[in-house]
Amino acid sequence: MMLWETFDKNEIYVLAALVIAYAAFFIFPKKLPRQITLLFLVWGFVTSILFDFTIGGGLVDFYKANDSNQYELTDLLTYVLFAPFSYFFVYFYYRLQIDRKTVIFYILGWTLLGLLMEKVSSMMGVVQHQNGYSIKYSVVVFLVTQTVTALYYELIRRQQRQAGNSEPRE
Amino acid sequence: MAFSIFFFLAWLFVSIFTVMQKRLTLVENTFVFLIILVVSINFSWIIGDELKWITIKKEALPYTAYLLNRSIIIPVLLLIQLNISMARDSIGWKIITILSTVVVLTGANYLLTVLNVATYKNWNPGFDAIYFIFLSLVAFLFYKIIENASEKVVNHT
């Protein structure tokens, strides 16, 4: 494990994105319970690690994160960057009162945002596709992860309603 | 062969977890699962791909068996252990459940070597057992963290 191979544009991009994403996390008023906030921060962090170590490494190795195939500190910071995005997915799901009529548009909107972020990350050298992989396959990854996240959040809400816990804090 | 065995084990442990009576809530179970998953993935990557203490066969089906063990069997079995150990307050009960889980997980890792999916170089089952005891403690610690984050109102009478 190393810090980074060379400190250049991908490291600067990751650090700048971290500052912006976590500043937004702290600035936006907290509307979700502490447990839900903690859960979905970890959810985003783990999802990025699961994909990177399953299809981004090992046998298929569809993409390289940052400077090398070795584990770098910048890789870890990149995974940490996904945590607030997962949180904001659930946060705005709640704030915008997403329901059966709007959930498909909501997921498609986040998928477009994800693809845009991946394109920028690719230009900044954070992600480099390889072994026949291209950004169009990421549509599948974003649709699956975001649909699962939305369904899981709905499941938690339903269980909490049944348990009589008042979920949102206003 | 390895794929079928580890698929069966993954199915078995997920099924047991699904039907068992759970002491943790959905949020607590999910949180602990995610934490164990992230430790398991990172640890296996560091000792395998970075330090080369263990080598994994780079063929599709054996490699999938290794992934099933890393990403499903280890975290789900630790969740089962945590839910069972929370059923009683006795320290002895908790130690027995942890040791039982460590034996099963160490056995599953040993099975990977017997089936030629993994080859131990600078590693042995004793280190596996220590690692799984550590992982059990991590599960317990993070359960306490998410439990303390709960905003449930408790009525003391």
Contacts of B30 in chain A (CB under 8 A): 39, 43, 152
Give this complex's ipTM: 0.88
What confidence tier does A166 reach under pLDDT thresholds 50, 70, 90?
low
pLDDT at A146 over 50: yes
Query: Does residue B157 lie within any of the structural domains?
Result: no
- Name which residue leads in pLDDT, A59 or B133: B133
Partner-chain residue, chosen from A38, A54, A70, that has the shortest CB–CB distance to B146: A38
What confidence tier does B152 reach under pLDDT thresholds 50, 70, 90?
low
- Name which residue leads in pLDDT, B157 or B23: B23
Spatial separation of the C-alpha atoms in residues A8 and A11, rounded to whole Å: 6
Give the pLDDT confidence score for residue A168 in this predicted structure: 52
Spatial separation of the C-alpha atoms in residues A156 and A29, rounded to whole Å: 21
Query: Does residue B22 lie within any of the structural domains?
Result: no
What confidence tier does A170 reach under pLDDT thresholds 50, 70, 90?
very low
Partner-chain residue, chosen from A1, A59, A152, that has the shortest CB–CB distance to B63: A59
| pLDDT (mean) for B62-88 | 95
Query: Does residue B43 lie within any of the structural domains?
Result: yes
Give the pLDDT confidence score for residue B136 in this predicted structure: 96
Average pLDDT for chain A = 90
Give the pLDDT confidence score for residue A131 in this predicted structure: 87
Closest alpha carbon to B58 in B46, B69, B48, B73: B48
- Name which residue leads in pLDDT, A147 or B50: A147
Average pLDDT for chain B = 93
Spatial separation of the C-alpha atoms in residues A92 and A110, rounded to whole Å: 11
For A34-51, the pLDDT digits (tens) are 999 999 999 999 999 998
Phi, psi of A2 (to 5 degrees): -135, 170
Note down the domain range covering B121. Answer: 27-148
Spatial separation of the C-alpha atoms in residues A15 and A73, rounded to whole Å: 11
| pLDDT (mean) for A47-62 | 86
Question: Number of residue pairs across A and B with CB atoms under 8 Å?
Answer: 67
Structural domain tally of chain B?
Answer: 1
CB-based contact B41 A50, cutoff 8 Å: yes
Spatial separation of the C-alpha atoms in residues B14 and B16, rounded to whole Å: 6
3-state secondary structure at position B55: strand
- Beta-bridge mates of residue A2: A72
- Beta-bridge mates of residue A63: A129
pLDDT at A69 over 80: no
- Beta-bridge mates of residue B55: B119
